[in-house]
Structure 1
């Protein structure tokens, strides 16, 4: 590279650095405006996530980007990342308290990760939250006295026992709720133990989420829904979406959404371990989609094995779903052993037809994720 080329590159890079500095200043200004928006929303009790506003804004920015010969997807990617940061900042402002005359809230298992997350969100909303953990039962009567709501978030395998044996003498108007990923048995246990308002909740996210914006909370009604409607309104203000569902239908879906998926991931990781696969080599030759798959496998094994054992072993029906998956795997393997390429293609087309419009939709959604994974590659 000659001296002139080097000088030209240095000058251009200096100009780019200047633009980057302007971008940083604009980002700081945008975050300041977002903080002001959060303050207004807090005072008015407006949910931090406004899907219609977001969709409208993105559509306008995409059109403006296209008119300027800038990739619409580029501006959407940037704005979505900024909005995620904005939701985190809005949470720091706090939230409007929907139920101002509620007694204190007791979270049974409040020192756990999920209990800690809900304690944080409720505290940010102005509620008085107390924690009761396994070494605190000698204080239970004191903690429950005057409680407006008790939330149970303990390991699945002891949830029903805790409810039946420890939560059968709550104040009559106290709301009893749980955060368990299995709903039928805990809901029945709560209805039997407590004569007041009862509701089953399943947060469809882990405790490491930075914000509840765009997250889903499944609600299984128990008794006196009018008494806990304020809680659902409060969760919506946090930015989450409420999905009402029958407890049995929920549990059936969880056999596929959680138990079968986590078990399959466990077996995949177990197989890699037994094969003594070299992860560095796998990453070196991985496509973005395989890297994402491997990341999801690794994510499972970075977490609490007791939690995933609880999820997988919680329902006997999960064994049926997992066994059906194994049967289908064996049948597909027989096609491979027999060299029956035609039947493989035929079944592939059959499944694609069953997916219908969801297949191209998922292809579009996954493209952005795969691009992000590729951008993050360090080896």
Structure 2
């Protein structure tokens, strides 16, 4: 570049830096306003996440962006990221306490990550929370005395045994709940062990979410719904979306959503290991969608093998789902080996028709994710 071009670029970049600084000040101002909103919501007991308000605001900003010749998706992307930050900030203000006369809460397994998250959320809502872990059972009677809610969050393979052997002498009006990722056996175990209110919960997220805004919590009713309705309302105030399901229906879905998906990722990672794949090289040649897929596989192996063994081995019925997947994979492989391109296209079209309107919907959603993945590249 010649000196004139260099000077022009430096001048323009300086102006851009100035605009960026203005943006920072505006962001700070917006976050301060959000903190005030959080305080008002806290006082009124309103949910942290208001989907109708969010949708209306995004639609209005998109229209305004269009009128200013700014890409509507750009302003939506910016606002969604801002809202995620806002939810994190609103959470720190605290939440209204729905049940003020509860007594204290006991989290069995409270030192675990998910137990720690629920302990934090309940504490932010004004409840007294006590943790009961493996070294505390000698003092368990004292810890349980006066408890209004006991939440079990321990490894799946010991959940039912622990409930049956350790939780049979709770106060009669105490709510007994669990956070296990399967529901039929734990709910049955709680109903058998405890005569009071029983509730099965499955948070469909990990402990690193930061905020429960827009997260899903599955509710499986056990006994005494009117006695624990306040807890469901409390979770809604945290911003979560409640999905009610029968335990059996939930567990059937988890065979596909969790067990088969995690097992498939495990095998994919195992295959990369067996093939001695050079991950650094794969990343250099990867498209955004493959990078995202590889990230999802890598994410699995960055976490506890015991956790995923619990999920995959939790239901014997998962073996059927995984075996069916293997059969379908083998049949598709036979089509490939036979060189029957027409058969492949025919099956592809059948599956596409089965997906229906979800296919283009998922295409739009994945396009946004892939653009974000591509934006994160540094080299």
Q: Which TM bucket (shorter chain)?
A: over 0.9
Match of 1:177 in 2: 177
Alignment partner of 1:27 is 2:31: no
Match of 2:195 in 1: 195
Alignment partner of 1:88 is 2:88: yes
Alignment partner of 1:45 is 2:38: no
Gaps of 5+ in 2: none
Alignment partner of 1:153 is 2:153: yes
1:238-296 C-alpha deviation (Å, 9 max, x unpaired) = 00000010000000000000000000000000000010100001000000000000000
Deviation at 1:378, TM superposition (A): 2.4
Q: How does 1:190-229 map to 2 (within 5 A)?
A: 190-229=190-229
Q: How does 1:253-264 map to 2 (within 5 A)?
A: 253-264=253-264
Secondary structure of the corresponding residue to residue 169 of structure 1: coil
Match of 2:332 in 1: 332
Secondary structure of the corresponding residue to residue 220 of structure 2: strand
Match of 1:61 in 2: 61
Deviation at 1:377, TM superposition (A): 1.2
1:350-373 C-alpha deviation (Å, 9 max, x unpaired) = 000000000000000111100000
Gaps of 5+ in 1: none
Tell me how far apart the structure 1 counterparts of residues 210 and 375 of structure 2 sit (CA, whole Å): 22
1:118-162 C-alpha deviation (Å, 9 max, x unpaired) = 000000000000000011100100000000010000000000000
Secondary structure of the corresponding residue to residue 277 of structure 1: coil
Secondary structure of the corresponding residue to residue 147 of structure 2: coil
Deviation at 1:100, TM superposition (A): 0.2
Match of 2:11 in 1: 11
Match of 2:165 in 1: 165
Tell me how far apart the structure 2 counterparts of residues 185 and 130 of structure 1 sit (CA, whole Å): 25
Secondary structure of the corresponding residue to residue 131 of structure 1: strand
Secondary structure of the corresponding residue to residue 258 of structure 1: helix
Match of 1:374 in 2: 374
Match of 2:233 in 1: 233
Tell me how far apart the structure 1 counterparts of residues 8 and 262 of structure 2 sit (CA, whole Å): 54
Tell me how far apart the structure 1 counterparts of residues 34 and 233 of structure 2 sit (CA, whole Å): 22
Tell me how far apart the structure 1 counterparts of residues 333 and 376 of structure 2 sit (CA, whole Å): 34
1:146-181 C-alpha deviation (Å, 9 max, x unpaired) = 000100000000000000000000000000000000
Deviation at 1:2, TM superposition (A): 1.3
1:208-241 C-alpha deviation (Å, 9 max, x unpaired) = 1010000000000000000000000000000000
Tell me how far apart the structure 1 counterparts of residues 54 and 287 of structure 2 sit (CA, whole Å): 32
Q: How does 1:291-302 map to 2 (within 5 A)?
A: 291-302=291-302
Alignment partner of 1:36 is 2:2: no
Tell me how far apart the structure 1 counterparts of residues 331 and 200 of structure 2 sit (CA, whole Å): 39
Tell me how far apart the structure 1 counterparts of residues 363 and 51 of structure 2 sit (CA, whole Å): 22
Tell me how far apart the structure 2 counterparts of residues 119 and 95 of structure 1 sit (CA, whole Å): 13
Tell me how far apart the structure 2 counterparts of residues 296 and 183 of structure 1 sit (CA, whole Å): 25
Alignment partner of 1:144 is 2:144: yes
Secondary structure of the corresponding residue to residue 150 of structure 2: strand
Deviation at 1:3, TM superposition (A): 1.1
Tell me how far apart the structure 2 counterparts of residues 20 and 367 of structure 1 sit (CA, whole Å): 27
Tell me how far apart the structure 2 counterparts of residues 336 and 89 of structure 1 sit (CA, whole Å): 52
Match of 2:99 in 1: 99
Match of 2:270 in 1: 270
Secondary structure of the corresponding residue to residue 48 of structure 1: coil
